[in-house]
Structure 1
Amino acid sequence: MITVIGTGTGAPVPPEAVAGAELVVGGRRHLDAVRLPQGAERVVLGPLAPALDIVEEYVGKDRPVLVLASGDPGFFGIVRALAERFGADRLDVRAGVSSVAAAFARVGLPWDDAVVVSAHGRELRTAVNVCRAHPKVAVLTGPGAGPAELGAALRHACDEPEAEPEDASAPGPAAPGSSSAPESPEHAPASARASLSRVLVVASALGSARERVERVTPAEAAARDWGTDVSVVLCLDGARVPGGVRTVAGAPAGPAGWALDEAEFAHRDSMITKFEVRALALARLGPRLGDLVWDIGAGSGSVAVECARLGAAAIAVEKTADGVERIAANARAHGVYVDVVCDMAPDALAALPDPDAVFVGGGGAELPAVVAACARRARRTVVVAMAALDRVPAAREALTGAGFSCDGVLLQSSRLAPLPGDVTRLAATNPVFLLWGTRIPVSDEGVAQ
């Protein structure tokens, strides 16, 4: 039998659980905190595979094994590896309080509505994208993926945009909706962006005499050396705290529908990706929890907002200042956050984190350069919507030239429209070319698979 005891957040190890063990496995601090039976072998956990091999020797001879773990060992813990190797029927698991539960308890917050993501031994970017997209996130940390690294990744998104120097000769601000509002990039502040409001709660040495729970900004977290005692960081947005009665824990349920009607978004002069086009674009983008999606030439931001509703982090790049305000307003109206950059592509893209998927809307002479720049950075797919037939060959060449397989369709739909006399006609919408490029996997030998 393998007894697994969760400790490390203030729960003592029962002496009777230790007394009969012939092999005790755990982290150094866990082993140092208990008195081992005389003659018991002690294995300090490092690489997991060698430790499991030693456990197997004892289990094969029916000799009792004790595994000491942090908090709840069934929550991103060692129970998974033990159950897969030896079978759940050989485990006696005694869970402690998880570091996530303890951290939320310390700050007096419920956590059934929190998203929990592990960065321990994993890419930090997934945790960063979840923190961008959701208002209450717990990040389990690890070497190279602690509060400093998380803060550094979130810092620029959380910075307030710098104020432009005042110009006495410049006209005063236009009223909302006024035709004199800025419409061109030369009137918009370069690289201005909507800022992400986040506070990080860094929990160190939970349950010990060295316990510390500190609230810091991402910039403050990035500037410090936090040592090795941190086990969890809470990333909170007080402006978007989920409310109401919960039925399902974790990330909110996905939307009941997508490809929303254009009337669901504020837009200018019908400059919005139509819902038929958006439906296929979303299917090809595949936005999901942990992803980052760029929406380039965002206009109303309808694609970015829909990606955020499906759980992804979204960055919208829009060249006009009034467009930036419109996108932010649409995001607020749908209860999501979209990071909005007021700048021109492709120049604006260099400062952005790498996306999983990109949507490129609009057109213009710079479209091939924009598509090529996006294709160099996208990890999975790039989707391009175009109204002009002349742009299609260059966009397709930009995708294939970056190592993407490319496919596409011409979408031409007709909608039901009422006529006098209680009859209906079909009203045609403008045709749109939709191209999508998918990154071709490359083998270790550098050959496309």
Structure 2
Amino acid sequence: MITVLGAGTGAPVDADVLAGAALVVGGRRHLDAVRLPDTAERVVLGPLAPALDVVERYLEKGSRVVVLASGDPGFFGIVRVLAERFGPRRLDVRPGVSSVAAAFARAGLPWDDAVVVSAHGRELRTAVNVCRARPKVAVLTGPGAGPAELAAALLHDPPVPGGSAAGPVAGPAPDSPGPEIASAPLPGGRVLVVASALGSADERVERVTPAEAAARDWGSDVSVVLCLDETRALGGVRTVAGAPAGPAGWALDEGEFTHRDSMITKFEVRALALARLGPRLGDLVWDVGAGSGSVAVECARLGAAVTAVEKAPDGVARIRANAAAHGVDVRVVHGAAPTALSGLDDPDAVFVGGGGRELPGIVAACARRARRTVVVAMAALDRVPAAREALTDAGFTCDGVLLQSSRLAPLPGDVTRLAATNPVFLLWGVRPPASSEGVTE
């Protein structure tokens, strides 16, 4: 039997649990904090495979094994690996308080509505995108993915000609080729709560801005980082824990958005575009030539982090207003593509709307950067071949459809007719799996 004991967040290790153990496995700080039986072998966890081999040898002899872990070892912990190797029935799991629960307790906040994401041994970009998209996130950190690295990624801006990224929307100077950030790179005024050495005499819980976090060396004792929009940290009463449920519907009616002279992606087009984009929690989506931001807002409602790129100052204002009206965070870049794309983080998916003669170049620039898919909406027949070529030249498999729909419209006399909408070409390119090496969940 393997006894898996959660420790390290304040609760002392019961000496009776260790009594009679032939093998005790754990991190160095956990092993140093307990008195081991004189006859027990001690294995300091490093690479898992050699430690698991030692555990297996002891189990084959019928010996008792104790594994010391942090907090709740069934929550992003070693229980998964042990259960996969030895089977759940050979485990006696005795959880402690998880670092996430302890950190939220120190902050005086409930956490049933928090999203928890691990950056320990994983790609940091997923945690960054979740922090951009959600108001209450706990990030489990690791080497190379600590508070400083997380904060630096959250603060990452495109280059801004002639000034700061902060402040009101003013628009670039005439003929300025570069982008301007129309909202903070981390929407909602996030703060970071960095919890270190939880449960020990050296425990520290510090509330810092992302800029302050990025400028510090936090050492190796960080337990968890909370990324919070404090204006939304309490939320409402929840029935289901974790990330909020997705919206009950999408492809919202055009009337749900502020727009100019019907210059908005129609809901029929938006429905298929969203299906091909596949926005989800942990993704980053670009909406290029965003106009009213209807696609950006819908992607954000489905859980993705979103950057909207728009060259018209009044369009920038509409995107911000529509995002606020729907309660989502959308980062807005005021500038013209493809120049405005150069400093942005690589997206998982891109939607390109509108576009004149520059469209093939914009599509090509997006295709070079997209990790998964690019979707292009066009009203002009003449643009289709060049856009398709830009996708295939970038190694994407390409498909498309002409969307033409007729909506019910009332007529005098309490009768109904069909009113045709303008036809729209929708192309989508998908990067083959072999072209996405290194991309991880």
TM range (shorter): over 0.9
Partner of 1:405: 397
Partner of 1:88: 88
Does structure 1 residue 98 correspond to structure 2 residue 98? yes
Partner of 2:45: 45
- Contact 1:183 1:320 (C-alpha < 8 Å) held by counterparts: no
The structure 2 residue matched to 1:360, chosen from 338, 346, 352, is: 352
Q: What's the RMSD between the two structures over aligned residues? A: 2.1
Aligned counterparts of 1:47 and 1:401: Cα–Cα separation in 2: 42
Q: How big is the shift at 1:157?
A: 5.7
Q: How big is the shift at 1:238?
A: 1.6
Aligned counterparts of 1:206 and 1:213: Cα–Cα separation in 2: 8
The structure 2 residue matched to 1:437, chosen from 411, 429, 436, is: 429
Q: How big is the shift at 1:233?
A: 0.3
Aligned counterparts of 1:303 and 1:190: Cα–Cα separation in 2: 20
Aligned counterparts of 1:375 and 1:259: Cα–Cα separation in 2: 24
Aligned counterparts of 1:111 and 1:377: Cα–Cα separation in 2: 35
Q: Mapping of 1:178-257 within 5 angstroms?
A: 186=175, 190-195=179-184, 196=187, 197-241=189-233, 243-257=235-249
Partner of 1:63: 63
Partner of 2:260: 268
Partner of 1:179: none
Aligned counterparts of 1:308 and 1:234: Cα–Cα separation in 2: 21
Letter in 1 for 2:165: P
The structure 1 residue matched to 2:341, chosen from 349, 357, 375, is: 349
Residues 166-214 of structure 1: per-residue CA shift (max 9 Å, x gap) = xxxxxxx9xxxxxxxx899759994232112110111110011111111
Letter in 2 for 1:102: A
Partner of 2:419: 427
Q: Mapping of 1:285-300 within 5 angstroms?
A: 285-300=277-292
Number of paired residues?
430
Q: How big is the shift at 1:444?
A: 11
Does structure 1 residue 122 correspond to structure 2 residue 122? yes
Q: Mapping of 1:308-327 within 5 angstroms?
A: 308-327=300-319
Partner of 1:333: 325
- Contact 1:188 1:342 (C-alpha < 8 Å) held by counterparts: no
Letter in 2 for 1:376: R
Q: How big is the shift at 1:293?
A: 0.2
Name structure 1 gaps, 5 residues minimum.
Answer: 166-172, 174-181
The structure 2 residue matched to 1:161, chosen from 157, 165, 170, is: 165
Partner of 1:145: 145
- Contact 2:157 2:343 (C-alpha < 8 Å) held by counterparts: no
Residues 220-258 of structure 1: per-residue CA shift (max 9 Å, x gap) = 111111110002100001233352210000000000100
Q: Decide which moves more: 35-44 or 126-135.
A: 35-44
Aligned counterparts of 2:311 and 2:174: Cα–Cα separation in 1: 5
Letter in 1 for 2:363: V
Residues 1:216 and 1:348: Cα distance change in structure 2 (over 3 Å): same
Residues 1:291 and 1:410: Cα distance change in structure 2 (over 3 Å): same
Letter in 2 for 1:4: V
Residues 1:49 and 1:312: Cα distance change in structure 2 (over 3 Å): same
Partner of 1:133: 133
Letter in 2 for 1:161: A
Letter in 1 for 2:278: G
Partner of 2:367: 375
Aligned counterparts of 2:156 and 2:119: Cα–Cα separation in 1: 20
Name structure 2 gaps, 5 residues minimum.
Answer: none
Query: SS at the partner of 1:351?
Result: coil
Query: SS at the partner of 2:13?
Result: coil
Residues 67-92 of structure 1: per-residue CA shift (max 9 Å, x gap) = 00000000000001111111111111
TM-score (norm 1): 0.92
Partner of 2:75: 75
Letter in 1 for 2:181: A
Letter in 2 for 1:256: A
Letter in 1 for 2:265: T
- State the percentage of identical aligned residues: 80
